[in-house]
Amino acid sequence: MSTNCSPYVERISLGVRNKLIIALLFDTGLRASELCSVDVETDLDLAQSTIHVRHGKGDKPRVVPFGASTGKMLRKYIAVRGELDTDRLIVSQFGSPVDRDVLREIIVRIGKRAGIQVTTHQLRHSCAVALIKAGCDVFTVQRLLGHSTLVMTRRYSNLADVDVMDRHRQFSPSDRLGNLKNVGRKKIR
């Protein structure tokens, strides 16, 4: 996309961009500032499905993977984005880099349109909890999110534990015994 394209093309690219922003924040757990710093040429590896975060919190670098569906969105966005004067991944409709404050405004606006209240950091939290619920170990989550200790990661684990408790209450084997007494019983000889 050039900066001189029609408003119709700009609207399409902003829609694609906004979906990508949500997908990246949720799929990778990147911080707002980390996402805004992603450079298409040096930080993004579509073949390996990874993003190189050069300056995470505490100036610590890390490599963060993303899923296949996010990869498809990235390819589509990069095609729509086209050649620009900046190598930053996330850009405005005019082709200038988006900073973390603007990114936060974009997320809040998207949430309002959807009728929910959401922030960039809530998407990061959601990523961590979703990973843990899916069975990812806390050490991997710690590394993916760039935490220096397990203290913060344990908080996400505790949030996921609430769901575990609710699920157990719902599917408790002993509580369900009464419901299962005569279902599919076979005599053992």
Is it true that domain 7-168 has CATH number 3.30.1340.10? no
Pair 63, 50: CB distance under 8 Å: yes
Residue type, 19: K
Q: Read off the pLDDT of residues 24-35 as tens digits, 9 standing for 90 and up.
A: 999 999 999 999
As annotated, the active-site residues are 31, 57, 121, 124, 147, 156
Q: Measuring CA to CA, which residue among 73, 77, 108 is closest to residue 90? A: 77
Q: Which residues pair with 88 in a beta bridge?
A: 39
Q: Measuring CA to CA, which residue among 73, 85, 71 is closest to residue 1? A: 85
Averaged pLDDT for residues 155-174 = 66
Structure tokens at 53: 């975060």
pTM of the shown model? 0.76
